[in-house]
Amino acid sequence: MLITHDTRCALDTVVDLVNTAPEDDETPDGLADLAALEEFVRNHKISDTGVLSEFDLAAVRKIRGRFTTILTAPDSRVAAGMINDLVAAAGTTPRLTDHDGYDWHVHYFAPGASVADHLAADCGMALAFFVVAGERERLRRCEAPDCRHAFVDLSRNRSRRYCDSRTCGNRLHVAAYRARRREATG
């Protein structure tokens, strides 16, 4: 599957956005305040956002919840319906643009759109491309029992199981090795 730079950036953004949500009552919210939202926007180079407000923070948290629901949809038909609703509500307005040193690419949000509508439109369209390509199963949750972060599996054979093989994957492999050693000596 050919993934354009824009689609990859949007997929990374939606995954990172979903991963800001607290996993339980003890985990802090990655978008705890306006400063965290501003940092998220800056780190993901989200353009045309203007001055952010508490309203934007609440709207982005709501969009984050909708993306989480899309990623956990039971099948592509259900995910497609949710994506259609999300993108339509964002007032999608495809337009060609070249800015900030990037060559021509398509933005799906309307000029002057809120950051939440921007994310819903651009990230929603990236998810739509994955559904159209029959690649929705590449959007996964980490299989480490204490993690559950979302990630995009871009491995050739769709075999990636962990959000980060150096942390979650390695930790589980070491634990399995130690268990085998205890069993062999015990």
Instruction: Of 131, 127, 153, 8, give the one whose Cα is nearest residue 68.
Output: 127
pLDDT digits (tens, 9 = 90+) for 34-79: 999 999 999 999 988 889 999 999 999 999 999 999 999 999 999 9
- The reported pLDDT for the residue numbered 173 is 66
- 3-state class of 141 per DSSP? strand
- The reported pLDDT for the residue numbered 53 is 96
Which residues in the chain land under pLDDT 50?
none
Q: How far apart are CA 87 and CA 35, in angstroms?
A: 26
Question: In 10 A of CB 71, how many CB atoms?
Answer: 18
- The reported pLDDT for the residue numbered 73 is 94
- The reported pLDDT for the residue numbered 33 is 97
Q: Give the global pTM.
A: 0.85
Q: How far is CA 81 from CA 29, 74, 138, 185, in A?
A: 28, 12, 18, 54
- The reported pLDDT for the residue numbered 128 is 94
Residue entry with tokens 């802090």:
28
Q: How far apart are CA 165 and CA 35, in angstroms?
A: 30
- The reported pLDDT for the residue numbered 165 is 67
